[in-house]
Structure 1
Amino acid sequence: MLMLRAAPMSYAKVDKVDAEEARHWKAQFLIHKALETGPTRRPPAAAEFARAGGCRVVRAVRIGIRLKRLRIAVRSFRLRVCRSVLKHLKNLRRLGSPRS
């Protein structure tokens, strides 16, 4: 709770500040300060791993990402091929069936 001691028509002097209010003010200040300074740039994680000797880990991650993309590409290619084959079969059935 905020205990104020003030004379009429003057500024209030804070005698004692509640711990919860103090934490809130400090948090507000830190948020304002962070927003004011803007985003900070961090060095890329790959450079840190290479410096620390964990280059193999980075390569494995890159290879994993490439394999995942390759799997997605193969799946989409397979779907396109299946659709086109089914479309051709459908057209052949129409041509082969006698119409009355």
Structure 2
Amino acid sequence: MLLMRAAPMGYAKVDKVDAEEARHLKAQFLIHKALEKNAPTRRPAAAASSRGGGCRVVRPSRIGVRLKRLRIAVRSIRLRVCRSVLKHLRNLRRLGCSRS
């Protein structure tokens, strides 16, 4: 339990802190620090409004991000397949075989 001595119209001075409460306060502080450290940095509102004409930028949903990544992956696979087919065709031409 937290024992406090308070003067009228003044700040309370802590005499003694319970061990369990001290652990709880320390855990809260560490959680707050970790969240503060991992929080993304934000631009000031003035910079965002001047760039977008006052429109608010909406972050895409997680599904939208996943679809975008899937599209990029499919595009890269398609590109690799096309390159490998062209490489095989070049090798066939070099060997003197005709395409049928």
Normalised-by-shorter TM-score class: 0.3 to 0.5
The structure richer in helix per residue is 1
TM-score where L is the length of structure 2: 0.39
